[in-house]
Structure 1
Amino acid sequence: MATPPAEQLKRVLKPVHLWAIAVGLVISGEYFGWNFGWDVAGTIGMLIATVVITVMYITFIFSYTELTTAIPHAGGAFAYGYRAMGPFGGLIAGYATLIDFLFASPAIAISLGSYLHFLYPEIPVMHSALVFNAAFLLLNGFGVKESAAFSVFITILAVAELVLYLGIVSPHFKMSNYMSNPMPFGWGGVFAALPFAIWFYLAIEGVAMVAEEVKDPRKDIPKGYISALATLVALALGVMIVTGGITDWRKLSTLDYPLPEAIGIVLGKASGLTKIFASIGLFGLIASLHGTILASSRQVFAMARSGYLPKGLDIVNHRFKTPHWALVVAGAVSFIAIYIGTHTKNGTSQILVLSVLGAVVMYIMCMVSLFILRKKEPRLPRPFKAPVYPWFPGIALLITIVSLFAIMWFNFTVSIIFFAGLLLISIIFILMGKHKVALTDEMMATPDL
Structure 2
Amino acid sequence: MHVWALGVGIVLVGEFMGWNFTIARGGSIGSIIAVWTMAIMYIAIVMMTNEMSSVMPESGGQYTMAKFLLGPLAAFNVGLMAVLEYAMLEAADVVVVGDILKSLNPDLNVLPFIMLSLVFLTWMNYRGVYATLTLNFIITAIAFISVLLLLFSTSFYDPRVTMIKLGQMTNGLPYGYLGVLAAMQFAVWFFLGIEGTAMATTECRSAERSMPLGSILGLLTLLIGATVTWYVCSGLIDADTLGVSPYPLYEAAVATGKLYVVIALFVGTLLSCLASANGCINDASRAWSALSHDGMLPDVFARIHPRYNTPYRSILFLMPISLAFAFTGMLDQIITFSIFSALLIYILTAIMMLRFRKMYPLKTISRGYIAPIHPIPAIITIVLACAALIGMSFTYGVNILLGILFYSLASVWFIKRRYKFINKSDFFNKGIEKWGMPNI
TM-score by length of 1: 0.89
Structure 1 position 222, deviation (Å): 1.5
| Cα contact 1:75–1:303 (8 A) shared by 2 | no
Q: Counterpart of 2:35? A: 50
| Cα contact 1:107–1:352 (8 A) shared by 2 | yes
Q: Counterpart of 1:362? A: 345
Correspondence for 1:38 among 12, 23, 28: 23
In structure 1, the gaps of 5 or more residues are 1-15
Structure 1 position 121, deviation (Å): 4.6
Deviations 1:339-383 (A, max 9, x none): 12x2xxxx1001101000000000111110111011123444421
Q: Counterpart of 1:319? A: 307
Q: Are the structure 2 counterparts of residues 240 and 273 from structure 1 closer, same or farther at C-alpha, using a change threshold of 3 Å?
A: closer
Q: Counterpart of 1:79? A: 64
Q: Are the structure 2 counterparts of residues 130 and 381 from structure 1 closer, same or farther at C-alpha, using a change threshold of 3 Å?
A: farther
CA distance in 2 between partners of 1:31 and 1:72 (Å): 37
1:174-189 aligned within 5 A = 174-179=165-170, 181-189=171-179
Output the amino acid matched with 2:166. Answer: M
Correspondence for 1:434 among 416, 419, 426: 419
Structure 1 position 408, deviation (Å): 3.3
| Cα contact 1:49–1:191 (8 A) shared by 2 | yes
CA distance in 1 between partners of 2:199 and 2:418 (Å): 30
Correspondence for 2:85 among 100, 108, 118: 100
Structure 1 position 183, deviation (Å): 1.8
1:108-257 aligned within 5 A = 108-119=93-104, 121=106, 123-169=108-154, 170=156, 171-179=162-170, 181-257=171-247
- Secondary structure of the residue that 1:199 maps to in structure 2? helix
CA distance in 1 between partners of 2:104 and 2:205 (Å): 42
Q: Are the structure 2 counterparts of residues 355 and 73 from structure 1 closer, same or farther at C-alpha, using a change threshold of 3 Å?
A: farther
Correspondence for 1:293 among 257, 281, 299: 281
Q: Counterpart of 1:11? A: none
Q: How many residues align?
A: 423
In structure 2, the gaps of 5 or more residues are 157-161, 431-440
Output the amino acid matched with 1:350. Answer: Q
CA distance in 2 between partners of 1:185 and 1:243 (Å): 20
TM-score by length of 2: 0.90
Q: Are the structure 2 counterparts of residues 127 and 33 from structure 1 closer, same or farther at C-alpha, using a change threshold of 3 Å?
A: same
Structure 1 position 421, deviation (Å): 0.9
Output the amino acid matched with 2:163. Answer: H
| Cα contact 1:63–1:387 (8 A) shared by 2 | no
CA distance in 2 between partners of 1:407 and 1:91 (Å): 24
Structure 1 position 436, deviation (Å): 8.0
Q: Counterpart of 1:384? A: 369
Q: Counterpart of 1:306? A: 294
| Cα contact 1:97–1:299 (8 A) shared by 2 | yes
Deviations 1:12-53 (A, max 9, x none): xxxx11111111111110101011111111101111111110
More moved, 89-98 vs 190-199: 89-98
Output the amino acid matched with 1:404. Answer: L
Structure 1 position 265, deviation (Å): 1.7
Deviations 1:296-331 (A, max 9, x none): 111101111111122111110010000001111221
Q: Are the structure 2 counterparts of residues 131 and 444 from structure 1 closer, same or farther at C-alpha, using a change threshold of 3 Å?
A: farther
Q: Are the structure 2 counterparts of residues 272 and 122 from structure 1 closer, same or farther at C-alpha, using a change threshold of 3 Å?
A: farther
Output the amino acid matched with 1:353. Answer: T
Output the amino acid matched with 2:350. Answer: M
| Cα contact 2:4–2:215 (8 A) shared by 1 | yes
CA distance in 1 between partners of 2:11 and 2:238 (Å): 27
Q: Are the structure 2 counterparts of residues 318 and 436 from structure 1 closer, same or farther at C-alpha, using a change threshold of 3 Å?
A: closer
Q: Are the structure 2 counterparts of residues 428 and 380 from structure 1 closer, same or farther at C-alpha, using a change threshold of 3 Å?
A: farther
Structure 2 residue 283 is matched with structure 1 residue 283 = no
Correspondence for 2:316 among 328, 336, 343: 328
Output the amino acid matched with 2:408. Answer: L
| Cα contact 1:63–1:386 (8 A) shared by 2 | yes
Correspondence for 1:349 among 323, 329, 332: 332
